[in-house]
Amino acid sequence: MTTERIRVVIVDDQAMVRAGFAALLDAQPDIRVVGQASDGEDGVRVVRELKPDVVLMDVRMPVLDGLEATRRILSPDRPLPHVPRVLMLTTFDIDEYVHDALRAGASGFLLKDALPDELAHAVRVIAAGDALLAPSVTRRLLARFAAARPAGPSRAALALAALTDREREVLVEIGRGLSNAEIAAELFIGEQTVKTHVGRLLQKLPARDRVQLVITAYDAGLVEPAG
């Protein structure tokens, strides 16, 4: 009995990057690269045609950048029959567009110099419906934008009224970049209880995935920028 492989489309304007990522992923027994594109516009077309499970999307590209391509792929106004998960690709100098891409519904981001095992792991995590959070990078990225949060109550802050005290505590720890196991240890509760709270947070706020919960925690002022 064979397990269906994770179908991936790579969208990047650098041919060497596409070729390198494709070779690494195709070497995995559970992953298959089904298509590639050299700009965002072509990427949207390829995704619509091939219906992959995961899209590796570069941020900066000609014709149509990765941010707008992600918006088009994940737009609720033009829903796809099969909605993929989008993993943004960025350089070490964290690209400010990534923040907006996460808001647009991307499920995380990966540094382009990631190791082969990290790349394969990222694809598996995203395909499983989770969000890819590298805590140190995530905190640095979101803290940069939290400082620009507008004065007064945000929509995120107003949404917190529907949360219980424990759900709010869990949201704070999610915003800090902690895993479920780390949250359980921090709050002295079971890991399954944490998973239950995370599920309720996703429903109440509402949020697509864990990345958007992190953004909500920052926008609502529950987590402040690191000094």
Domain boundaries, the chain: 6-132, 152-219
Cα gap 112→115, rounded to integer Å: 9
Per the model's pLDDT, the better-predicted residue between 40 and 96 turns out to be: 40
pLDDT above 50 (res 227) = no
Cα gap 56→68, rounded to integer Å: 14
Per the model's pLDDT, the better-predicted residue between 178 and 192 turns out to be: 192
pLDDT above 80 (res 15) = yes
Lowest mean pLDDT: which of 112-121, 123-132, 199-208? 123-132
Question: How confident is the model at residue 1, as a pLDDT?
Answer: 39
Q: In what order do the strands lie in the sheet with 108-111?
A: 31-37, 6-11, 54-58, 85-90, 108-111
Question: How confident is the model at residue 44, as a pLDDT?
Answer: 94
Cα gap 174→167, rounded to integer Å: 10
Whose CA is closest to 68, among 106, 110, 17? 106
Instruction: With beta carbons less than 8 A apart as the criterion, state whether 92 and 113 touch.
Output: yes
- Bridge partners for 90 per DSSP: 111
Per the model's pLDDT, the better-predicted residue between 104 and 183 turns out to be: 183
pLDDT above 90 (res 103) = no
* pLDDT tier for residue 220 given thresholds of 50, 70 and 90: confident
- DSSP letter string over 123-150? HHHHHTT--B--HHHHHHHHHHHHTTPP
How far apart are the two ends of the chain, measured CA to CA in Å? 52
The CATH fold assigned to 152-219 is Arc Repressor Mutant, subunit A (1.10.10)
The CATH fold assigned to 6-132 is Rossmann fold (3.40.50)
pLDDT, one tens digit per residue, over 44-74 is: 999 999 999 999 999 889 899 998 999 899 8
Question: How confident is the model at residue 190, as a pLDDT?
Answer: 93
What 180-187 contacts at long range (C-beta under 8 Å, 24+ apart), as own/partner pairs, is: none
Whose CA is closest to 47, among 19, 84, 88, 75? 84
